[in-house]
Amino acid sequence: MTRLKHPIKAALTLALALMLSAPHSAFAGAGSTLLPATALLMDTPDASPIDNAVFAPGPDALPAPAFNGILEISGAVLQSQPKLKNDIILGRDALKFPAMSLEFTTLHDVLVPMQRGTMVGESKRSGLPSYWQVIPQFGKVWREPNDQGWSRAAFPLMLVNDTENHAHQGLATFLYQEGRVSHLRIQFVQQTAPWLLSPHVVLWTKATIQLRQGQPTVQAATRQAAEKELAARLEARPIGEFAPGLPAEAFSQLNDPVPPRWQVAHALVHNNILYYDAEKTPFGAYPYPLEMRFGVRSIMKSVATPLSLLRLAKVYGPYVLDLHIGDYVPGADPKWSKVRFIDAANMSSGYGGVGSLVTHPNEEGSGYLDNDYNGWYQAPSIAEKLAHMRTHLKPYPWEPGRVMRYRDHDFFMLGLAVNNFLKSVRGPEADIWTMLQEEVLKPIGIYAAPAVRTREPNHQLGAVWFSAGYYPTLDDLAKLALLYENGGAWKGEQLLHRELTLDTMMAKGALDKEGDGSADRTIVRDGPQPAQLYRMGFHFIGYTPSDSAVRLYFPTMSGAGHNEVVMYPGNVVGIRIAKVGDLPPGEKEPPYYSDSIPRALDTLLSYRRTHPQ
């Protein structure tokens, strides 16, 4: 097991000095030049977004006084470029920035949102509700010589929603001075792949804000928690520091075969150091790349499901994997009484019968989006999703656990069953995502895990989607991958069932996506082409490293938009975040599950071995 060694003081210093800093190229000029204080004080709309450099301190920045307070942010009209095809989505306004309250304090020069990593929704409504929620992240405070006594504050802001798992990476800034604040300038300049919203857009607005005092005890607790969170982050360096002198093209191979215009960020983890990079936006470098949260779609399948099953197996025993979904989801089709938790985790429930019945070879995607998939996807509550499934789907003729057919419905049902199992052993207030946050994520240094839930009547707590809906950072994804690679252990504490975790990482018991498991579940791994394998939310990429003649299968988290996290031997991780979706006519989508990331990691590691630093 590899131990992560991060003395708190050293890690905090690194977090404050490096992680929240912009790449030097982002500091093109002082904010007071590109965005004068007068522009933030005037209530006039902005014609367009501005260079991202104004949202971070430049080389001439001066220390700023502490900021403590609650910003009451008014609703505002979002400008878009290009125009949206449809401003109103499911009765909600996609061009309405929601009115809300955000509370902040400062830790040294770090601006700390109390609601960091949390999906914050609309607090006051007039007219149609907003389509959006936001996730604030750590920012900065500073002073500039020409600001006439005002201080500046800026913070990263993700624009997200509870209907589709994509995120717009944004920035916000305001001035503050002796109990006064300016307007809030906001722009969203990067994004992950959309589904209902079209096309890819840049959004911006200016909102009126009022300042209220917060409670000093709450602010002190927030600073203490922020210090702990920052200290728990992995050591992080710009990706160019991984192998100085290596051509930039070698690092860009982590994004192959995704064209540069559809890339968002990429990273690799080696020796427990996170090497990161974010693609430039239309308005320059994003100044807080490690604060970006991404809509990663089906990567959630490699998070909620394995963490839940492997944690429950550790706490209660491996028998949990063999429990039947029908016993824990009232009103489900009778076939679910035969479907084990592990069958749904392998997307082999045998339910969802639309599309071909051919299994020689199997067509894993057959019928995936048929029979009104969007109707099910958009149904807000558990009851409405179950009713849609009963109306539109039916059982396949084969038994569960035999044939892999890609269905989000399997993971939705598994999430309900796992949650209800937990309630059966811990009481009606238990919640599986809350359990994972407290018992798995926080122990590995992930203190916030924003995720989409179903929308239930009377504001009841909904069920976390197990199929999509997670908004992680690069640091979050790196830690999750390392946890799996370390057999479910972290700093000497066994959080997940070790044997089952290692079996999963080695694809033991995986289904061949193209095979008919009812005839033969034997996996042939030495054929001319790698097998296409799937188990417990992970795809497995076949690749033969340059220093071996043996084909290996690397567990991979994969999500729509071409988001991929590949776990390579030796606790090496490759991460790609992209926004492939809603492509222009005539443009072909790159292939999924390619060996490009393992190939790039192989090249980078080989170079590092032959060019010691």
- Asked if residue 166 and residue 64 are part of one domain, the reply reads yes
Instruction: Tell me what the mean pLDDT of segment 401-414 comes to.
Output: 96
Bridge-based pairing state of the strands 88-89 and 92-93: antiparallel
Query: Which tokens go with 51?
Result: 């260079």
- Asked if residue 46 and residue 163 are part of one domain, the reply reads yes
> Comparing C-alpha atoms, which of 594, 566, 563 is closest to residue 265?
563
Give the pLDDT score at 5.
35
Model confidence pLDDT, tens digit, residues 527-579: 788 889 999 999 999 999 888 888 999 999 999 999 999 999 999 999 999 99
Place of tokens 């090496």: 572
> Comparing C-alpha atoms, which of 539, 609, 532, 527 is closest to residue 570?
609
- Which of 454, 469, 484 terminates a domain? The answer is 469
Instruction: Tell me what the mean pLDDT of segment 61-83 comes to.
Output: 97
- Asked if residue 309 and residue 205 are part of one domain, the reply reads no
Q: State how many domains the chain has.
A: 2
- Asked if residue 419 and residue 327 are part of one domain, the reply reads yes
- Asked if residue 125 and residue 225 are part of one domain, the reply reads yes
- Which of 231, 264, 294 terminates a domain? The answer is 231
Q: Is residue 499 part of a domain?
A: no
SS3 153: strand
> Comparing C-alpha atoms, which of 236, 238, 242 is closest to residue 600?
242
- Band (pLDDT 50/70/90 cuts) for residue 524 is low
Q: Is residue 167 part of a domain?
A: yes
Separation of alpha carbons 509 and 498, rounded Å: 16
- Asked if residue 63 and residue 205 are part of one domain, the reply reads yes
Q: Is residue 492 part of a domain?
A: no
- Asked if residue 318 and residue 202 are part of one domain, the reply reads no
Separation of alpha carbons 457 and 454, rounded Å: 10
Separation of alpha carbons 347 and 517, rounded Å: 12
Instruction: Tell me what the mean pLDDT of segment 118-137 comes to.
Output: 94
- Asked if residue 329 and residue 192 are part of one domain, the reply reads no
Give the pLDDT score at 519.
58
Model confidence pLDDT, tens digit, residues 21-57: 444 334 434 577 889 999 999 999 899 999 999 999 9
Model confidence pLDDT, tens digit, residues 203-251: 999 999 999 999 999 999 999 999 999 999 999 999 999 988 888 888 8
Q: Is residue 393 part of a domain?
A: yes
- Which of 208, 231, 254 terminates a domain? The answer is 231
- Asked if residue 442 and residue 311 are part of one domain, the reply reads yes
Q: Is residue 223 part of a domain?
A: yes
- Domain CATH code at residue 399: 3.40.710.10
Model confidence pLDDT, tens digit, residues 388-404: 999 999 999 999 999 99
Q: Is residue 604 part of a domain?
A: no
Q: Which residues contact 89 (CB under 8 A, 6 or more apart)?
A: 131, 163, 196, 197
Query: Which of 35-39, 113-117, 607-611 bottoms out in mean pLDDT, i.e. has the lowest?
Result: 607-611
Query: Which tokens go with 515?
Result: 């095979």
Query: Which tokens go with 443?
Result: 């122990």
Q: Is residue 224 part of a domain?
A: yes
361: preceding bond cis by omega (within 30 degrees): yes
Give the structural domain span for 432: 304-469
- Asked if residue 410 and residue 311 are part of one domain, the reply reads yes
- Residues constituting the chain: 613
Alpha helices in 437-473 (DSSP H): none
In SS3 terms, 24-69 reads as: HHHCCCCHHHHCCHHHHHCCCCCCCCCCHHHHCCCCCCECCCCCCE
With 0-12 / 13-18 / 19 or more C-beta atoms within 10 angstroms meaning exposed / middle / buried, residue 460 is exposed
- Asked if residue 172 and residue 309 are part of one domain, the reply reads no
The DSSP code for 518 is T
Query: Which of 164-173, 490-499, 593-602 bottoms out in mean pLDDT, i.e. has the lowest?
Result: 593-602
Percent of the chain with pLDDT over 90: 79
- Asked if residue 462 and residue 316 are part of one domain, the reply reads yes
Q: Is residue 488 part of a domain?
A: no
The DSSP code for 497 is -
DSSP string, 72-140: EEPPEEPEEES--S-SEETTEETTEEPBEEEEEEEETTEEEETTTTS-B--SB--SSPBS-EEEE--EE
> Bigger pLDDT: 331 or 102?
102
Q: What count of other Cβ atoms lies within 10 Å of the Cβ of residue 156?
A: 28
Separation of alpha carbons 503 and 488, rounded Å: 11
- The mean predicted confidence, pLDDT, of the chain is 91
